[in-house]
Structure 1
Amino acid sequence: MTHSHPYEGNEIREKKPTVLKGLVFLLLLVAFGAGLFYAATRLRSAEGPKVAHDAPAPLTVAVVKVEPTDAFDLKESYTGLAEARRTSMLGFASSGRIAEIRADVGDQVKTGDLLAKLDTRSLQAQLASARAQVQEARASHDLALSTVQRQRQLKLQGHVSQQRVDEAEAQANTALARVEAAKAQADTLRVQIDLAAITAPFNGVVTQRLTDEGAIAAAGQPILELVEKSHLEARLGLPAASAALLEPGKEYTLVADTGEVTARLRNITGVIDANQRTVGAIFDIENPDTVAAGAVVRLALDRSVGEAGFWVPVKALSAASRGLWTVYVADPSDTGWTAVPRPVEMVHSDGDRAYVRGPIQPGERIIVDGLQRITPGMPVTPRESQRADLSDG
């Protein structure tokens, strides 16, 4: 018995795409592409970048009007020190052991007060010996004078020659010279004893004590420092132009940390210091009790500078080349205001303001803030500043 395959006798049909199906697929693909193109075009039109065609809004800036002047007053301040007119480092004229020091740091002393002394026992013994030599020399001189008197009497009686009288007178003169030499030696010892004591040469205060009792002091070695407190002077250095404005003998007011000090100008050196390029002015302080020696004092002077220009806030300046500066002027036009740069030269700076000169006309408005945001020709809207105090005072 013969079995046949189920598919036997049937033609196997392969599925092949037809032309109609191809056309439908192509139409669907074109329609899909068209939809994507349309969507992309609409999206770019709706959310794409926008280009601004309108001009930016003017920047509001603070300005001040220019007020030119022919000169300005310059306030100058000069610093110096209040110093004692006399300061002495006191010591002994000769060496020796210090027997006593009666003054200490801070002591107020008067002229002639004993401050320190050396051990003078050896000098006292030498002085006693010198006094004895003076007495001996005087006795010899008296004897020589008596001899001269007797020889003269004998000469008158014809018993001795003139030679004997001359010899007696020569011996008397020699004895007198010995007396003077002995007296000089005694005086030298007295001076040495006097110099073995330190006395105050003027009224003052002891500011240093450099040694103590028992030490061996060398000749000229500083023992004490004495500063005159009752007479203080102030030494200040000023430019020659400013020093020329001062009048010797006139009173001026100096300012110290403790307050105002009245001082009278004694003199001006008239010599320019090579290092400081200043002229020295010496003032006598009238009320020394109000200021301590070594205190800093200041002198304020007003000086007029004949230089045409105008004041501007320092913040209105921007650095330029060759030592010049730039200010921006709010320049009016038919369409509005624009920022225009102008070069200026700084004459003087005084805190938050500067005195400058340049091609600026009276009444022009200078921009005083926001310079970092400003470029030449930029449109601006000026606003009068209420904070810029440019008064000359």
Structure 2
Amino acid sequence: MTSKKRLVLILLAVAVLVLAALAFLKGRGGPEPADKAQSAGGTPAADAARPALTVRVARPTTAQLPITLAANGNVAAWQEASVGSESNGLRLAEVRVNVGDRVKKGQVLALFSPETVNADVAQARASLAEARASAADAAGNAARARTLAQTGAMSQQQINQYQTTEQTARARVEAAEAVLAAQQVRGRNTQVLAPDDGVISSRTATVGSVVGAGTELFKLIRQGRLEWRAEVGSAELGQLSVGLPATVTAPGGGQVQGKLRSIAPTVDPQTRNALVYVDLPGLMQSEGALRAGMFARGEFLIGQSEALTVPQVAVVPRDGFNTVMVLQDDQRVRLTRVQAGRRIGDRIEVKGEQFGPDSQVVVEGAGFLNDGDLVRVAEAAAQPGQPAPSPAPAAPAATPAR
């Protein structure tokens, strides 16, 4: 027999032995399929009953939330006074305030050189004295002329001339007095005084400069008061009224409380917005988070209403919608779309057709769940009527082969 035929016979014998062994094991009832499934990780039923996540739940609460109207606008000075020079051709000798300084009404802000004005005042006094002397002489001559009028020693024409001279001299005295008063006023104007209490917002005064009358030297925010000029659409104007409280938020996040003072009588035909003016009382320019010229946002408190709120962490955005996971009686969660509204602290207002005050929402772990997932509640004792899950029965051990 050749070696090739011998190899074929050996392979056939091995095949017969393998078939016989398989038939023997089948007849003895070999290992159950459940054992194989158990070795692969458990039965499908056991996998389906395993919770996907341990979560915490909470019930919605009802709270009174404010109804607000949002707006944007500029912060500006309530009134800004322009402080200038009332004298012409004087040299500025001293500047006593800078931008940001608080000043009182009547406080000296700057001084002009008084030499020229003092010389003019002295000349006006001398002219007044000369006019008074001339007036006294003219008055004496007129009195003597009136005495001689009864004797006939002087003609009526001469008497009239003396009387006219007296009246002219008296008028010259009055003119000299007016010139002196004007020069004295000019002398007082060498001091630039604050017209009101407030804060210096701008300064153009420079020591040594010669300025003309009416030249602006300082700008003053009267009483340090600011106002918020908010733009409100014409459709929302009916919700506002004078006296409503407003909260103005600065770009840095600081908030200032104000009150609606007035509403503009006209609406911009281009933007269809109207200006409303909110007083920010007691806010000095050098204090707080707001400055004149800032662009700020704010809210008007219109009223209050009752709302259903949940913790903000319970609301999860999915596919462009706000959703919450609502716990069902079978310990599974249902994905529910809601409308998010106002916020108060760490809670947010929610509205939805399939969402009510008796619902239980997942607070922690909602972002890791899908619709229909089985969950385990961390406070299991707080869920009445839900028995503790019993452990799955152990699979029977395989009988060893004899």
TM-score between both structures, scaled by the size of structure 1: 0.61
In the alignment, the residues of structure 2 paired with residue 282 and residue 152 of structure 1 have an alpha-carbon distance, to the nearest angstrom, of 74
Alpha-carbon distance, 1:32 to partner = 6.1
The code of the aligned residue for 2:378 comes to R
Partner of 1:271: 263
Give the 5 Å matches for 1:84-95: 92-94=85-87, 95=89
Partner of 1:353: 347
In the alignment, the residues of structure 1 paired with residue 380 and residue 153 of structure 2 have an alpha-carbon distance, to the nearest angstrom, of 127
**Per-residue Cα deviation, 1:257-300 (whole angstroms, up to 9, x for no partner):** xxxx9x9x9x7412279999765134358xxxxx9942349x99
The code of the aligned residue for 1:59 comes to A
Alpha-carbon distance, 1:341 to partner = 1.8
CA shift in 2, pair 1:62/1:368, >3 Å: same
Alpha-carbon distance, 1:318 to partner = 2.1
In the alignment, the residues of structure 2 paired with residue 140 and residue 90 of structure 1 have an alpha-carbon distance, to the nearest angstrom, of 42
Give the 5 Å matches for 1:211-226: 214=208, 216=210, 219=213
Q: Is the 8 A contact 2:244 2:301 kept in 1?
A: no
Q: Is the 8 A contact 2:65 2:344 kept in 1?
A: no
CA shift in 2, pair 1:155/1:363, >3 Å: same
Whether 1:126 and 2:116 are equivalent positions in the alignment is no
CA shift in 2, pair 1:200/1:244, >3 Å: closer
Q: Which of 294, 299, 307 is 2:287 aligned to?
A: 294
What's the % identity of the aligned pairs? Answer: 26
Alpha-carbon distance, 1:357 to partner = 1.9
Q: Is the 8 A contact 1:243 1:279 kept in 2?
A: no
In the alignment, the residues of structure 2 paired with residue 385 and residue 352 of structure 1 have an alpha-carbon distance, to the nearest angstrom, of 25
Gap regions ≥5 residues in structure 2: 26-32, 71-75, 233-238, 246-255, 291-297, 382-402
Q: Which of 174, 182, 188 is 1:180 aligned to?
A: 174
CA shift in 2, pair 1:64/1:242, >3 Å: farther
CA shift in 2, pair 1:164/1:63, >3 Å: same
Q: Which of 129, 140, 145 is 2:139 aligned to?
A: 145
Q: Which of 62, 69, 76 is 2:55 aligned to?
A: 62
Q: Is the 8 A contact 2:243 2:261 kept in 1?
A: no
**Per-residue Cα deviation, 1:21-56 (whole angstroms, up to 9, x for no partner):** 6543322344567789999xx9xx999995953242
Q: Describe the SS at the equivalent of 1:347.
A: strand
Alpha-carbon distance, 1:195 to partner = 0.8
Partner of 1:316: 314
CA RMSD between the two structures: 5.3
Partner of 2:324: 327
Alpha-carbon distance, 1:119 to partner = 2.5
Q: Compare CA radii of gyration and give the structure with the larger one.
A: 1
Whether 1:72 and 2:70 are equivalent positions in the alignment is no
CA shift in 2, pair 1:319/1:192, >3 Å: same
CA shift in 2, pair 1:318/1:242, >3 Å: farther
CA shift in 2, pair 1:364/1:111, >3 Å: closer
Partner of 2:394: none
Give the 5 Å matches for 1:197-208: 197-199=191-193
CA shift in 2, pair 1:300/1:268, >3 Å: closer
CA shift in 2, pair 1:212/1:35, >3 Å: farther
Whether 1:382 and 2:381 are equivalent positions in the alignment is no
Partner of 1:25: 7
Q: Describe the SS at the equivalent of 1:157.
A: coil
Partner of 1:53: 44
CA shift in 2, pair 1:28/1:176, >3 Å: same
Partner of 1:306: 305
Q: Which of 357, 360, 365 is 1:370 aligned to?
A: 365
**Deviates most, 83-92 or 372-381:** 83-92
The code of the aligned residue for 1:328 comes to M
**Per-residue Cα deviation, 1:113-167 (whole angstroms, up to 9, x for no partner):** 6665333222222222222222232233333333433443444334555444444
CA shift in 2, pair 1:172/1:66, >3 Å: same
**How many residues are paired up?**
329
CA shift in 2, pair 1:241/1:58, >3 Å: farther
Whether 1:156 and 2:150 are equivalent positions in the alignment is yes
In the alignment, the residues of structure 2 paired with residue 38 and residue 154 of structure 1 have an alpha-carbon distance, to the nearest angstrom, of 179
Gap regions ≥5 residues in structure 1: 1-17, 247-260, 286-290, 387-393
Alpha-carbon distance, 1:365 to partner = 1.5
Partner of 1:253: none
The code of the aligned residue for 2:313 comes to K
The code of the aligned residue for 2:111 comes to K
